Amino acid sequence: MAATGATGTLAPMTPADMDGLVIGPISHVVDRERIAAFVEATGDVPERWLESAPPGYAAALLFHVAGEFLWDPRIAEYVKTLIHVDQSFAYPSPIRPGDVVEITGTVDRVRERSGTYFLIFSANAAVGDRLVLESRSSFLMSNQPAGEPSADRGEPPADARATSDVPGKRSLPANGEVDVVARSASRADLVRYGAATVDFNPLHWDHEAARAAGLDGVVVHGLLLNAWLTQHAASFAEGEAPVVSIKARFRNALRPNVAAATTAAVDSRSGDEAKLSLQLTAGDATIVTADATIRGVTP
């Protein structure tokens, strides 16, 4: 049982006190309505994901357990700055409507330096004996802002969004070529995504909270950016589990209503599998870099 203070409230902790914490298993029922809500929030192809969930849906499973420690009131002081540094997902088998997924998460390691905590969090999800997801996340947490924001320019209108294309079925780029898809999100998209994944970090919807953390304003969820990259990767392959794995590193924040683009290039191909290099850029800024393996590539 957690220790309590004199007033009966939970005693404060540091993220280091979470080292070794196991969360779950927590059950999550996958249904077509949840898949459809995620597809809409991420700007994916609705007709493709009727019999299985898109690979980006892993975020909804991850935050069912990750949120249990990230939003634990005992470490509330240390989410003044919360940065998702990198993320890897592996998909051993597809997630389908009707699946009852059991998700377990573990805080594998916590390191502290000058008041900033670096955490490694792993999560696995299974349907009975069938493993459907392996996840590894890195987070930075601090009770200090990441930096000084620029002059306050406010937020764009709620529905304002630059050009954002849906990456339907595409041909794998030839050697030396780069395939490009325009992407952007509105503030309303961020709210829809938060609801679809239970990721309610105020940095994605509360202007003042984002400013207090040293940002210019609200920013797009890292795993929404990752969903865009997995959508692009999946567009080159067929089947209900087109992405074998993806590993992404979040390098810069993306603001809503900013024109961005995902790019994909082929590193290698063997049979119906291919390894891709992916990026999300906005102007001259690199927002996310990733490597992915896909299966089901057509000739």
Lowest mean pLDDT across 3-12, 19-28, 41-50, 74-83: 3-12
**Residue 87 dihedral angles phi and psi, to the nearest 5°:** -150, 135
pLDDT in tens, 205-224: 999 989 988 899 999 999 99
CA angle, residues 139, 36, 231, in degrees to nearest 5: 55
Q: Is the pLDDT of residue 201 over 70?
A: yes
Which helix (H) or strand (E) segment holds residue 32: the answer is: helix 32-42
CA distance 100 to 73: 28
Per-residue confidence (pLDDT) for residue 47, from 0 to 100: 94
Q: Where are the domains of the chain?
A: 15-295
Q: Is the pLDDT of residue 299 over 90?
A: no
pLDDT in tens, 228-270: 999 999 999 999 999 999 999 999 999 999 999 999 999 999 9
Average pLDDT of 163-180? 94
Q: Is the pLDDT of residue 173 over 60?
A: yes
**What is the CATH T-level fold of the domain 15-295, as seen in this structure?**
Thiol Ester Dehydrase; Chain A (3.10.129)
| Mean pLDDT score across all residues of the chain | 93
Highest-pLDDT range among 7-16, 78-87, 138-147, 181-190: 181-190
CA 219 to each of CA 184, 228, 241, 258: distance values in angstroms, whole numbers, following the listed order: 11, 15, 29, 10
Q: 224 or 70: which carries more pLDDT confidence? A: 224
Per-residue confidence (pLDDT) for residue 8, from 0 to 100: 45
Q: Is the pLDDT of residue 50 over 70?
A: yes
Per-residue confidence (pLDDT) for residue 6, from 0 to 100: 40
Average pLDDT of 140-146? 89
Q: In this structure, what token pair is assigned to residue 226?
A: 């990752």
Q: In this structure, what token pair is assigned to residue 18?
A: 């979470």
Tabulate helix, strand, coil % of the chain (nearest 5): 25, 35, 40
For the chain, what percent of residues have pLDDT higher than 70?
A: 96
- Give this prediction's pTM: 0.94
Per-residue confidence (pLDDT) for residue 94, from 0 to 100: 96
Band (80; pLDDT cuts 50, 70, 90): confident
Band (81; pLDDT cuts 50, 70, 90): confident
Strands (E), 50-147: 81-90, 100-113, 116-127, 130-142
CA distance 179 to 244: 20
Per-residue confidence (pLDDT) for residue 64, from 0 to 100: 92
Per-residue confidence (pLDDT) for residue 195, from 0 to 100: 94
Do 201 and 132 form a contact (C-beta atoms < 8 A)? no
Q: Is the pLDDT of residue 75 over 70?
A: yes
Average pLDDT of 54-59? 96
- 235: nearest Cα among 292, 172, 184, 291: 172
Average pLDDT of 121-138? 98
CA distance 190 to 194: 6
Per-residue confidence (pLDDT) for residue 192, from 0 to 100: 96
Sheet holding 22-29: strands in order across?
22-29, 100-113, 116-127, 130-142, 81-90, 243-250, 285-295, 273-282, 260-270, 179-183
Per-residue confidence (pLDDT) for residue 9, from 0 to 100: 57
For the chain, what percent of residues have pLDDT higher than 90?
A: 83
CA 136 to each of CA 106, 119, 244: distance values in angstroms, whole numbers, following the listed order: 10, 10, 15
CA distance 175 to 187: 37
Q: Is the pLDDT of residue 162 over 90?
A: yes
